[in-house]
Amino acid sequence: MSTRNIFTRPARLAAIAPSLWMLLFFLVPFGFVLKISLSQTAIAQPPYLPVFDLSQGIDAIKAALAALSPDNFKLLISDDLYILSYLRSLVVAAVSTSILLLIGYPIAYGMARLPKRWQAIAMMLVIIPFWTSFLIRIYAWINILQHDGLLNKVLLALHLVSAPVVWLSTDSAMYLGIVYSYLPFMILPLYATLAKMEPALLEAASDLGSSPGSAFWLVTFPLSLPGVAAGVLLCFIPIVGEFVIPDLLAGSNSLMIGQTLWLEFFTNKDWPVASAAAVVLLLLLVGPLILYDRLQRRQLERA
């Protein structure tokens, strides 16, 4: 009896806690954003109309509800600026994620092949950059990439170039920054799946006539696909909404949706359009998010 009482209540609370968290810190704020996205801009405080005022009674709320309209979403669809921003976000995320996979897979593979005690050290090396503020690391890249930065100095000293090269404010700089920042998110899930793979499987493949190369493609790679999927989604989803890196490292001729959203919100003070842009961004990412959640759940069930 007593054990039951001790265990069930906290267990029940623990089961509810994540849902409560999601409700309070995701669903409720999202409700606000959704409401604002259906409102109109106004020169007021807050800068949109209508405003729900519970003190004015039921009729006022009904009137406010009637004033909501999907005009902002129509604007998003009709104006190239937004469509191009979304497209650029998706393209940048896809390209960066591909580069991340190409670089991250060999690193994770190498880590998983290291002797056990070296694996811990390699893991530290991957994680340690995280101990420095993300923003500082991006500013460091600005320093390295700028006109008289470290990179140009080295290239000039080695006589590889005769004049400083423009690195900063290019797409290359942005991709460099994104790949640099997200690499651990690609490496860690890949490493986790590769490290727990039974070495006997590769021996079996070899015993059955596979060369090391074909054993990799027939056994290692297919078995690491859950890790590949986790790494890809873990990078792709946040990169789509990335704002800081493109803002600091890329040029200003084309914007990612995060930057457009920022402009609408802070520069144009157009909260409703910014909110609509955020809602659409979330809708774009619902698919990948659900996919990621499914994968994680399947992994948990296996373990």
Partner 1 sequence: MPLLRIEAVVKKFGVFRAVDRLSLDIRAGEFFALLGPSGCGKTTLLRMLAGFETPDEGRILLAGSDIAQVLPHQRPVNMMFQNYALFPHLTVRDNIAFGLRRAGMQRPEIDARVAEMVALVKLEGFEMRKPDQLSGGQKQRVALARSLARRPQVLLLDEPLAALDKKLRESTQFELMELQRRLGTTFIIVTHDQEEAMTVADRIGVMDGGRLEQVASPRELYEAPGSRWIAEFVGDVNIFEGQLASQEAGRLLVSTRDAGTISVAEPRQPIGKTILCVAIRPEKVKLSRRGPASDGASAHAINRLEGIVTDVSYLGGVTSYKVKLDSGATIRSAMANTARIDIDAYSASQRVVAWFTPDDCVVLEQ
CA distances (Å), origin 270, targets 47, 111, 203, 246, 252: 7, 48, 62, 22, 20
Nearest residue (CB) to partner 1, 1 versus 208: 208
- Give helix 134-145 / helix 171-195 axis angle, nearest 10°: 130
Nearest residue (CB) to partner 1, 119 versus 210: 210
How many whole angstroms separate alpha carbon 24 and alpha carbon 178? 31
Site of tokens 């998003």: 76
Q: Rule CB under 8 A: say whether 196 interacts with partner 1.
A: no
Q: Rule CB under 8 A: say whether 207 interacts with partner 1.
A: yes
How many whole angstroms separate alpha carbon 241 and alpha carbon 256? 8
Please pick, from the candidates 40, 41, 169, 210, the single residue that binds partner 1 as defined by CB under 8 A: 210
CA 28 to chain centre: 22
Please pick, from the candidates 58, 200, 300, 303, the single residue that binds partner 1 as defined by CB under 8 A: 200
Cβ atoms of 178 and 240 within 8 Å: the answer is: no
Please pick, from the candidates 40, 119, 146, 206, the single residue that binds partner 1 as defined by CB under 8 A: 206
In 3D space, the residue among 192, 197, 230 whose CA is nearest the CA of residue 216 turns out to be: 197
Q: Rule CB under 8 A: say whether 198 interacts with partner 1.
A: yes
Q: Rule CB under 8 A: say whether 203 interacts with partner 1.
A: yes
Any residues with CB less than 8 A from the CB of 105 and at least 6 apart, and which?
190, 224, 228
Please pick, from the candidates 1, 14, 136, 208, the single residue that binds partner 1 as defined by CB under 8 A: 208
Nearest residue (CB) to partner 1, 55 versus 211: 211
Near partner 1 by CB under 8 A, which window of 7-15, 30-38, 79-87, 217-225?
A: 217-225
Nearest residue (CB) to partner 1, 124 versus 200: 200
Q: Rule CB under 8 A: say whether 217 interacts with partner 1.
A: no
Please pick, from the candidates 34, 95, 223, 295, the single residue that binds partner 1 as defined by CB under 8 A: 223
- Residues near partner 1, by CB under 8 A: 198, 200-201, 203-211, 214, 218-219, 222-223
